[in-house]
Chain A
Amino acid sequence: MSACWPTLHMTVNGEDRAVQAPPMKRLLDVLREDLRLTGTKEGCGEGECGSCSVRMNGELVNSCLVPVLQAEGACIQTVEGLAANGELHPLQQAFLQCGGAQCGICTPGMLMAAAQLLARNPHPSLAEIREGLAGNLCRCTGFTRIFESVIAAAAHNAEDSTNRSAEQEADAR
């Protein structure tokens, strides 16, 4: 039966992927079932909790609300695409150190929302972090340690970019 469905192409975590799926199938289900990327979680199925957050063409989306047809040709990043070269992403490292993850079920979505926030705004204020994560519900932490994690990751990025520009300066000389 699946032969009847159109083949859709997308780039997921940097890899070209093709799936045959009903066009109205939720992107969430395509990621979890067709591509076996189960890091992205379903919490409510109605775009309230943010557990299924992924980045699509540089925007944060609730993958439970996106028909896969809309993802045709898109560039998608899920939690599985955050760590690179076997090393935790600075956000993952910060969540680990600061206690930003407890039960872990909101964590993949929360990380994607935080990654989106830092991509837009590398040095957010606490108010901006609160706003940036307001679409992602966490029932365990009371958010306090999630905010601390994002602040720590932003500080790490700042350090990194300072180091990088120092290196560049040194190279230029």
Chain B
Amino acid sequence: MSTHATTRIVGAPVPRKEGVDKLLGRAHYVDDMERDGMAHGATVRSSIPRGLIRSIVFDPRIDWSEFTIVTAADIPGKNHIQLIVADQPCLADGKVNHCEEAIVLLAHASKQKLREAVAAVHIEYDPLPPVFTIEDSERQDVIVWGADNCFKSFLLEKGDVDSAWSGAAHIVEREYRTGAQEHLYIENNGVIAEYSAESGVMVWGSLQCPYYVHKALMAVFDLPEDKVRVIQTETGGAFGGKEDYPSILAAHAALLALKSGHPVKMVYDRMEDLAATTKRHPSRTRHRTALDRDGKLLAMDIEIATDGGAYSTLSSTVLSRATLHSPGPYVCPNVRVRSRSWATNTIPYGAFRGFGAPQTIFAVERHMDEIAATLGIDRIELRRRNFLHDGDTTATEQVMREPVILDQLMDRALAESDYHARRARFARENPGSPIKRGLGVAAFYHGSGFTGSGERTLNSLAGVDVTPERNVRVLVSSTEFGQGTNTVLTQIAAEAIGLDMNDVIMAPADTGIVPNSGPTVASRTAMVVGRLIERAGTQLVAMLREHAGLGEGFSREEFFAACEVYRAAHGSIISLCRYEPPPGIFWDDQKYRGEAYPAFAWSVQVAQVAVDTVTYSAEVEEFWSVQEAGRVLNPVLAAGQIEGGVAQGIGYALYEKVVWQNGRMANNQMTNYIMPTAEDVPPIHVYFEEIPFRHGGYGAKGIGELPHDGPAPAILNAIKDATGVSFHAIPLLPEDLFAGLAAQRPVEEAATV
């Protein structure tokens, strides 16, 4: 069991472990690296959304003998990048299923010559009819994937939904939609690859999951695991966007390295990164809800459809999380969720912070406000009447064994935002002003770690060793990309062993050095991997006590002296721990029932929005985020996660629109894909309630994704509060506000006559 007693380092605002290197400009991102004899790589991509490749013509005006040229025919192993299903080719072979699909790879020492050469490869196609929307895919007039266009479907059932309608006092039915969202990490995707017959493939890159890339390269090159080595370089933001795509890019660069005999660097520019790499799944969620006279939920019938893009990639697991978060943090005796992910001819959608949850939480938290308005019950009161509490069961019949403090989070959010007084003020001021202000609330949970049996399947291994230079090294494949992995895992190791921060270093995230502690995704690092490091640290001290005479209350000198005694006897000092599921966790994949997550993080957020009824702009003026995510390991980093997630959520709601033209992202530039700037992000107030979770690293639960789940519904609920108009889709841009408010105006004017 984790210690909840006083800690020296865990819980302290320790500065970021790699912070000084980043601040001095000496941290090495992949584009800062060079290798001897290095060439650059570039990609020739499809210009149509779907079709057969008739021919590939190399313009004779280019001297192609200077270039390395790779096509699908050059792949020594399997031509696919498999995340779950093996449907996505590494390079298109005979047909393309989305714009920007990679067909030909080129390498040359000169980047300028590469640009000209890419334009001089002409692909001729026999076009096939494409499918671009969920509705077109559902109709199945054109089949673009498998037998029915459907990547995956889930059915989650609790109680008997169909029997509930007849006895209901109210039935509320609505549809909600969310758009694609781009990660917009400031560092684009990039890798360097080398190949030699003796050591195989070696890749350095900006990535989240070294062992995912490792697995992909083994298949593409048909190599055993010791002939593939993947090393993460400093990574300039990821947010899920470097979970799956780096496997493709690494394979491309390595194919060019194999054929050219030179190291090859491939770093996308912004336009290529935006056009060709993954985004958040667009979605449509329909709710039909039965309630009794007092506003208690009787039945929730939920239908979810996501757009998965051209290949299945991670769509099934994103859909799973979307499904499991769709009923919200409420008790309901009868729940049915039917969800499907559909194939379309756009880039494959992938992982993005929240992983399906922001889509369905947007729907359910907007829907709760719609229900409240329909029933004439205060929206806070409606939520309170239905909140989950300790001992209640969720839609998967998971019993809430850990404390659930939604009422307390709501109380705090209302108090900190001075909710009632502010709302009263807006009610007074709005009628005389062209600026209409309102407040909106969202309450939600986010499941920490992999879904269902996922953590058991991952079977993560992590630990610490001690170097001859007298450092404890943390051995994990968990990566740092801004969230604070290096810092919190170092804090945990130092705490568990009884050393200082400076005595502990991170081993490089290099598959040749570190064990597989699982991917850095799903808000699992602090909770799951942190717990492994805590156990490994405790185990190390026990080893030294038993075999090297380390006493109680040891000094730093005594610790490292004991390490030398142990090393002399055993050769090396290493302490590894493997994942052990918390007791009583059971998940049935067939019935989709049981403990969906080992733990949940909880949050209530409040947004204050001002809508300018002259310009139709909506601005978030202030934001409050209250959460319970277990023990806070580092208050500065934890608050930074919340603030950054809220800002991304504000962008999701009000700014960030991917414009599609014939299946291609038309606004693939930072000039016209707009994220919130320093002038757009409001003051964000962050408050933690801490309930240590026994099975997380020093009591931590997942935190990284949670804050992105709530801003969109809170903001649209605030816009309803301010203007009286309900919007059901994001992103909500000024033109959408104009359309919605204009549609309402005649009714309002007629009513006042």
A-side residues, CB < 8 A to B, are 32, 37-46, 48-49, 51, 78-80, 82-83, 88, 92, 95-99, 101-108, 111, 129-131, 133-134, 136-147
> Chain B contacts of A40 at CB under 8 A?
25
A88 to B26: give the CA distance in the assembly, Å.
13
Give the docked Cα–Cα distance between A143 and B184 (Å): 15
Residue from B15, B23, B675 in contact with A107 in the complex, judged by beta carbons closer than 8 Å: B23
CB distance from A13 to the nearest CB of B (A): 11
Question: Which of B15, B20, B640, B648 has most A Cβ within 10 Å?
Answer: B640
Q: Which of B185, B636, B637, B678 contacts A139 (CB 8 A)?
A: B185
Cβ A105 vs Cβ B678 within 8 A: no
A sample of 21 inter-chain contacts (CB < 8 A) reads A38-B31, A41-B186, A42-B31, A42-B269, A43-B186, A43-B188, A45-B269, A46-B669, A48-B669, A79-B24, A96-B23, A99-B637, A102-B644, A103-B186, A104-B482, A105-B185, A137-B675, A139-B237, A139-B644, A142-B647, A142-B648
Task: Decide: A140 near B677, CB < 8 A? Known: A104-B234, A104-B236, A145-B640.
Answer: no
Query: Could you tell me if A134 and B677 are in contact, using CB atoms closer than 8 angstroms?
Result: yes
Q: Mark B222-254, 1 if CB is under 8 A from A, else 0.
A: 000000000000111111000000000000000
Contact B640 A92 (CB under 8 A): no
Is B270 an interface position by the 8 A CB rule? yes
Q: Is the CB of B270 within 8 A of A144?
A: no
B:7-24 near A, CB below 8 Å = 13, 15-16, 18-24
A143 to B620, CA, bound (A): 15
Total residues of chain B contacting the partner, CB 8 A:
55
Contact B20 A96 (CB under 8 A): yes
Known: A48-B669, A139-B239. A101 touches B19 (CB 8 A): yes
B interface SS class:
loop
A144 and B684 in contact (CB under 8 A), knowing A44-B670, A79-B24, A139-B675? yes
A44 to B274, alpha carbons, bound, how many Å? Answer: 10
Contact A78 B25 (CB under 8 A): yes
User: Is residue B709 contacting chain A, with contact meaning CB distance below 8 A?
Assistant: no
Q: Tell me if B691 counts as interface (CB < 8 A to partner A).
A: no
Q: Is the CB of B236 within 8 A of A146?
A: no
Name the residue on B nearest A43 (C-beta).
Answer: B186
Residue contact B24 to A92, C-beta cutoff 8 Å: yes
**CB atoms of A133 and B235 under 8 A apart:** no
A99→B678 contact, CB < 8 A: no
Please indicate the chain B residues that have their CB under 8 angstroms from the CB of A131 in the complex.
678-679
In the complex, which residues of chain B have a beta carbon less than 8 angstroms from the beta carbon of A49? Answer: 186, 670
Closest to B638 in A: A99
Task: Establish whether residues B270 and A39, one from each chain, have CB atoms under 8 Å apart when the complex forms.
Answer: no
Residue among A40, A78, A133, A138 with most chain B CB within 10 A: A138
CA distance A139 to B237 in the complex (A): 8
| Chain B residue with Cβ nearest A105 | B236
Closest 8 CB pairs of A and B: A39-B25, A105-B236, A103-B482, A104-B22, A142-B647, A102-B482, A79-B25, A48-B670
Contact indicator A111/B23 (Cβ below 8 Å): yes
User: Complex: how many Å from CA A104 to CA B683?
Assistant: 22
Min Cβ gap B653→A in Å is 14
Q: Tell me if A104 and B27 are in contact (CB < 8 A).
A: yes
Query: How many angstroms between the C-alpha atoms of A97 and B270 in the bound complex?
Result: 31
Residues of A within 8 A of B29 (CB): 38, 41, 105
Closest CB of chain B to A164's CB: distance in Å? Answer: 24
- A32 contacts across to B, CB distance below 8 A: 32
Query: Which of these, B23, B235, B236, contacts A92 with CB under 8 Å?
Result: B23
B270–A143 touching, CB < 8 Å: no
When C-beta atoms are compared, the residue in chain A nearest to B482 turns out to be A103
Q: Which residue of B lies closest to A51 (CB)?
A: B186
Chain B residue at minimum C-beta to C-beta distance from A138: B186
On whether A108 and B678 interact (CB within 8 A), knowing A96-B19, A103-B481, A141-B644, the answer reads no
User: Quick check: B236 and A103 within 8 Å, CB to CB?
Assistant: yes
Q: Which residues of B contact A134 (CB under 8 A)?
A: 677-679
B22, B639, B678: the one contacting A101 at CB < 8 Å is B22
Complex CA–CA separation, A104 to B234 (angstroms): 9
Is the CB of B187 closer than 8 A to any CB of chain A? yes
A residues in contact with B645, CB < 8 Å = 142
13 more contacts with CB within 8 A, not counting A103-B185, A137-B186, are A40-B25, A46-B270, A46-B669, A46-B670, A92-B20, A99-B639, A102-B16, A103-B186, A103-B236, A104-B27, A134-B677, A139-B648, A139-B675
User: How far, in angstroms, from A2 to B675 measured CA to CA in the complex?
Assistant: 40
Question: Is the beta-carbon distance between B643 and A142 smaller than 8 angstroms?
Answer: yes
Please give, as numbers and ranges, the residues of chain A lying within 8 Å of B684 by CB-CB distance.
142, 144
Residue of A82, A96, A104, A141 with most partner-chain B CB within 10 A = A104
- Chain B, range 272-291, C-beta contacts under 8 Å to A: none
Determine the distance from Cα of A139 to Cα of B645 in the docked complex, in whole angstroms: 9
Contacts of A96 in B (CB 8 A): 15-16, 19-20, 23
Within the complex, the shortest CB–CB distance from A76 to chain B, in Å, comes to: 14
**Bound complex: CA A48 to CA B26 (Å):** 23
Pick the most buried of A88, A95, A106, A143: most chain B CB atoms within 10 A of its CB. A143
Find residues 664-684 in chain B having any chain A CB closer than 8 Å to their own CB.
669-671, 675, 677-679, 681, 683-684
Cross-chain contact A142 with B681 (CB below 8 angstroms):
yes
* Interface residue from A42, A88, A143 paired with B681 (Cβ < 8 Å): A143
A44–B184 Cα distance when bound, in Å, is: 10
Q: From A41, A44, A83, A144, give the contact of B236 (CB < 8 A).
A: A41
From the candidates A80, A129, A144, name the one contacting B24 in the complex (CB within 8 A). Answer: A80
Query: Are A101 and B23 interface neighbours, CB within 8 A?
Result: yes
- B646 in the interface (beta carbon within 8 A): yes
